[in-house]
Structure 1
Amino acid sequence: MHISSEPAILYFGTPVVLISTLNENGSANLAPMSSAFWLGWRCILGLAASSKTTQNMIRTGQCVLNLPSVQQAAAVNRLARTTGSNPVPEGKRQKGYRYEPAKSETAGLTPLPAATVAPPRVQECPVHMEAAVAAVHGVGEDEPLQKGKIVSIELRIQRVYIDDSIALHY
């Protein structure tokens, strides 16, 4: 069971974030990533500009950041070389990625409705953060080989859910 929470600061020690977004057809996309840091109730993500997750966040202005625990490691690994892009971009194809339209099912994870955004939360993750895109910036734009390839996305956290088992009860 998850409860709504308003912590004084968002400081989570997790190396992986599962990002839920919505595809153009309204289906959910779920992708692992590890380039995130927190500033108050803001999160900064570093992502490939061409990824389906990035495109979905920029198009809809919304996502859910789901923080898995060690119990979800196998589920995260099942998502590792999947993409929501069809056809699979050449660079990803060369790295062994495959198109997967049903990522939650592939990972064995359960979608839950969100309250403030359209993408779903992930039931099994102990922390969920519903977020709105506040800004998008190119990264490495001054380097010809990097220009247009990486973006930083600033998110404004709108609602946080934490599993009751990790909540501090005062």
Structure 2
Amino acid sequence: MKILARVCAASLLLCAILWLCWMRANVKEHEESRPSYLPHTLQLWGYSRLPDGEALVRNPCKTCAVVSSSGQMLGSGLGPQIDQAECVLRMNTAPTVGYESDVGSRSTLRVVSHTSVPLLLRNQTYFFQQAHETMYVIWGPPRQMDIDQGITYRALLQAKGRYPGGDVRYLSEHWLVHNDSGHGAM
């Protein structure tokens, strides 16, 4: 049941990000007929910045590319088109080096499961130093992401100390508990 809840939480995260992309595209395309209720800037609770817990505030994306990590893109030749998107969303630690012609080279946001964090930390230079524009959103069970005792949280905090310019975020415990308790979407 908890695994299903976490899969649902990850799906909700992906939906929120895709919504940001969609909002940005629709806002820009129809700027003159833009309804006054559409936001210029969005604040998403539950996506807390390491180490201060600051909420995620950003403008929606004008164009967006979502790149899976399953190898389905190999041979597609879509790399240049993917890199032209304002926001490029990647999953976990999917590589780009050596696959640029198929998957592009830019990453605006990476959604990373706590189980993939060790792979992320093994390649810190690649992930945190070379990719300055990338925001990392890490999700996992509260025991892993607890700000006082979570092993994954502490490992990310150490990496953030080495690369202070990196934008590392985690799904807050409140957000995960909310979804684990069966309350569903926010």
Query: Which structure has the highest helix share of the two?
Result: 2
Structure with larger RCO (C-alpha < 8 A, sep 6+) = 1
Which range, TM-score by smaller chain?
A: under 0.3
TM-score normalised by the chain length of structure 2: 0.21
Query: Which structure has the highest strand share of the two?
Result: 1
TM-score normalised by the chain length of structure 1: 0.22
